[in-house]
Structure 1
């Protein structure tokens, strides 16, 4: 039986203005146990990912000014997905599509120049680049410093760490990435804001762009004719 995938959407908020500035698209797989994260994103047929991205962004395009989609380096270099990203941007204009370059390892190693070339290609098509999950996986600072001139955004995920936000070492990490965002003129989004205490602490640290369960859990985005699934 063919697997079924859909995107769940989670808002990104500006707490200074109390507005939704964008939605992140989070892919899940329909299983007998319910919707779950795929065991391997790289194992999904790129054509399926491409088709779903186009259909999803088309539905959401008139609802928000930015849509963010997670893309690994492997997917970045996959022709069908690359074409779908550009087609999606053309379909949803003037809404901006933001490619979030994830921290995931790829089966094949790509050089910095190869990644830079593809990011520049996307930039030339009006697509924005976000470096996702900074400070973890292969998105450690020394690995992404040469990609920062191509980026519009950094994302720091609190949920990627075992320590709580209140821990001083976690706050030091955010101070570092906040400083990098200012140095390079980038947006900084802190995700994983789970409760009122996280919300207040992030405000105190001068972070106003946020994402997390405190504002909204990811919600399933139904596509036309999807009623048979539920």
Structure 2
């Protein structure tokens, strides 16, 4: 199996060839009218370019023609060293996507060259003992600065969000292998929309865990998605594949956006992470307290462990503990860092040393 999200992706520098399909007599005529040298066969038409600026200009011309002629073009870009086009469907992308990859070449390079790292934020139990860490994407030491939101939005636009999501997961797994002992939970984010076929798309994740001789039971893969989940059955299938490989799953941001109590009830995740917007000053807000209680009560019905995100004050933590929430995360316990704290993972001693 192959798809555009899982196929190898290479940066284009210098000269090469752009292939387009389908072959349209109207498009061919429009290109030739512009005085461009275009070659073609029954399957594709193509032209050479000498640098990326020329390519960008040509792509913008063709995008205008595509709109005028009401056709949908897919393209394939090859550097001078790569040779002829491939018939594989996974090697073809939309014209607009290819334009975005050239236009945002710096961000594409950040993704392809893995110029990012995984930071770790502690997760504690009710006794403030650190039981795990969430892994969060951050710029690399020598890479360009970015926000995670900016990087993933650009990845969506360029068709690289599956590649980025997969690579970020593997980076988190590798980071955990360097820093954490067995038995410490590792919460790793994933985007459901990046996983087209769980059995195939998650293979790289499972292989990384096996390659590094890590215990699958230490991993919790949590859904992070800013868009509405269109096909619940697909996400349920993804959960099943993770669990069948010995790992746990979590639903993030419950109580905000699309992560509703109803969705939580239907998915029955192993871990339920309450959104920080509900936790903020929850000790002073009865409406928030009732929503939190509802989440705790529903979670108890299917055995989900509840985690409060965004704890910044002891009063918030105290309220959460008082209603039976056993796990917590937030700046009160520690900010994301490149390394875990030294010594035993004990809450009071850790906080005193911060």
TM-score (norm 2): 0.54
Question: Which residue number corresponds to residue 184 of structure 2?
Answer: 65
Which whole-Å CA distance do the structure 1 matches of 2:327 and 2:122 have between them? 11
**Secondary structure, aligned partner of 2:138:** strand
**Which residue is 1:136 aligned to?**
256
**What aligned pairs does 1:91-170 form with structure 2 within 5 A after superposition?**
91-93=213-215, 96-105=218-227, 110-148=230-268, 151-158=269-276, 160-161=277-278, 164-165=281-282, 166-170=284-288
Deviation per CA, 1:59-81: give whole Å up to 9, x if none: 24426521001112113447676
* Greater RCO, 1 or 2 (C-alpha within 8 Å, sep 6+): 1
The number of residues matched between the two structures is: 216
Is the counterpart of residue 187 in structure 1 residue 314 in structure 2? no
Quote how far apart the aligned CAs of 1:197 are: 1.8
* Pairing partner for 1:24 from 130, 134, 146: 134
Q: 1:113 to 1:137 in 2, by over 3 A?
A: same
Q: Deviations over 1:181-202 (max 9, x none)?
A: 2111111000111012212222
Distance of 2:216 and 2:124 partners within structure 1: 19
1:193 and 1:212 in contact (8 A); partners too: yes
Shift of 1:33: 8.3
Secondary structure of 2:253's partner?
coil
Give the aligned partner of residue 220 of structure 1: 338
Q: Which secondary structure state, in structure 2, belongs to the residue aligned with residue 133 of structure 1?
A: strand
Evaluate the alpha carbon distance shift between residue 81 and residue 57 of structure 1 in structure 2; reply closer, same or farther with a 3 A threshold: farther
TM-score using structure 1 length: 0.80
Aligned partner of 1:204 in structure 2 is 322
Tell me the SS of whatever aligns to 1:67. strand
Distance 2:244 2:288 in 1: 36
Higher strand share: 1
Aligned partner of residue 133 in structure 2, secondary structure: strand
Name the CA shift for 1:34/1:114 in 2 (closer, same or farther; >3 Å): closer
- What are the ranges of 5 or more consecutive residues in structure 1 without an aligned counterpart? 223-230
Give me the CA root mean square deviation: 2.8
In structure 2, the gaps of 5 or more residues are 1-105, 156-160, 341-354
CA distance in 2, matches of 1:128, 1:101: 11
- C-alpha distance 145-94 of structure 1, shift in aligned 2 (>3 A): closer
Higher helix share: 2
Q: 3-state DSSP class of the match of 1:25? A: strand
Alignment partners' CA distance in 1, 2:250 and 2:290 = 21
